[in-house]
Structure 1
Amino acid sequence: MDDDEELERIRRQQLESMQRQAMQEQMREEQEKQREAERARRQQILRQILDPSARERLNNVRLVRPDLADNVENQLIQLASMGRINRMLSERDIIDILSKLTENKREPKIERRSK
C-alpha cells in the first residue's frame, strides 16, 4: 500500500508540475501577444503622424540612442493622442525635436595636463 500511495503522490506532483508549466507558457504567450499588439498600435500612430523620412530618421537615432528614440516616440504618441499634432511631421521637425532634447546635454570637457 505504501508503494501505491507513493506512486500516486509522485504522479500528482508531476501532473501539477506539468500544469504549472503549461499555465506559465500560456501566460508568456499572452504577454507576448499584448506586447506585439502594443508595438503595432504604436507603429500605427507613428505612421499617421510621421512621414517616411521622419520615421527613417527616428529609426537611425534608435540605432545609436534607443533611449532617446523611445523618449521622442512616447512624447509624439502622447501629443497625437491628445490631438495636439494636426499634420504629418517631417524629418526637419524630428531633427528640431532631437536638437531641443539634446541641447541641454553638456559634452564632457577633457583637459590634458602636462607635467
Structure 2
Amino acid sequence: MAAGYEDEELEEIKRRKLAELQRKMEEERQRRAQIDAALRQILTPEARERLANLRLVKPELAQALEEQLINLARSGRVKIPITDDFLKRLLAEIYEQTHRDTKIEIRRK
C-alpha cells in the first residue's frame, strides 16, 4: 500500500515539474517574441540578419547586444533604423574593448 502512495506522490511531483518547465518555456518564448518584434522595428533587415548570425556563434553577446540596442532605441540615443554599418562599427568597438588587454609577448633568450 505504501508503494502505491509513493508512486502517486512521485507522479504528482513529475506533473508539477513538467508544468513548471512548460510555463518557463512559454515565458521564454513570449520574451523572445517581444525582443524580436522590437528588433524588427529598430533594425534594418541586414542588421537583423547580422545579429541572427551572431546569435548562432555567440548567443550571450547577441543577447546583451539586443538588450543594449533596444534600450538605446527606446531612450532616443541612436538613429532608427539601426543599419548594418552601425552594427558593424558597434561590434568592432566591442571587439576592440574586449581584446585591448590581450597582449602576447615573445621573449627570446
TM over 0.5: yes
Distance 1:65 1:93 in 2: 19
For the 8 Å contact 1:49–1:85, the answer to whether it is kept is no
For the 8 Å contact 2:73–2:80, the answer to whether it is kept is no
More off after superposition, 20-29 vs 100-109:
100-109
Indicate the residue corresponding to 1:4 in structure 2: none
Give the number of aligned pairs.
108
State the TM-score, normalizing by the size of structure 1: 0.78
Distance 2:87 2:97 in 1: 17
Identity %: 34
More off after superposition, 75-84 vs 27-36:
75-84
Asked if residue 57 in structure 1 is aligned to residue 50 in structure 2, the reply is yes
State the TM-score, normalizing by the size of structure 2: 0.81
How far has the Cα of 1:44 moved from its partner?
A: 0.8
Match of 1:110, as an amino acid? Answer: I
How far has the Cα of 1:84 moved from its partner?
A: 4.7
* Mapping for residues 34-113 of structure 1, pairs under 5 Å: 34-82=27-75, 84-85=77-78, 87-105=80-98, 106=100, 108-113=102-107
Q: Where in structure 1 are there 5+ consecutive unaligned residues?
A: 1-6
| Larger Rg over CA atoms | 1
Q: Where in structure 2 are there 5+ consecutive unaligned residues?
A: none
